[in-house]
Structure 1
Amino acid sequence: MIKQELIELIENKRAELIQVAVTNGLTSSIAIRYSQELDHLLNEYNRKYIKKTRRVASLS
């Protein structure tokens, strides 16, 4: 998955989470599931792009 695709998935999941939370509440089971899915996507982004950038910067 390329960086832009992952960013789009994150943005879409965040929008879905907001809508579900407004409709069903932050503690509803579906909001919790969407939040966990968003966490997974953010962790994947961090693993692939953020930590790699920091390592390269620290080598300079």
Structure 2
Amino acid sequence: MKKQELSNEIEKKREELIRVASTNGLSSSKAIRCSQELDHLLNTYHSRFIKKVNLH
């Protein structure tokens, strides 16, 4: 996945999390699952694009 595609996925997931949490509450199973998916996307972004920049 390219950097821009991953950034777009992160933004979509962030918007979904806000929507789900507003509807179901922050501690709902849907919000927790969505938050975990967002964490995974953010970790992927960090490992692919941020760490490489900081090494140079």
Over the matched positions of the two proteins, sequence identity in percent amounts to 64
What does 1:1-60 align with in structure 2 at a 5 Å threshold?
1-56=1-56
CA distance in 1, matches of 2:52, 2:21: 33
Amino acid at match of 2:18: I
Please, what is the CA RMSD of the aligned residues? 0.3
What is the TM-score with the length of structure 2 in the denominator? 0.99
Count, aligned residues? 56
Structure 2 regions of 5+ residues with no counterpart?
A: none
Amino acid at match of 1:46: H
Q: What do residues 22-58 of structure 1 show as CA deviations (whole Å, max 9, x unaligned)?
A: 00000000000000000000000000000000001xx
Q: Which is higher, the Rg of structure 1 or of structure 2?
A: 1
What is the TM-score with the length of structure 1 in the denominator? 0.93
Amino acid at match of 1:43: N
Structure 1 regions of 5+ residues with no counterpart?
A: none
Q: By how many angstroms is 1:13 displaced?
A: 0.1
Amino acid at match of 1:50: I
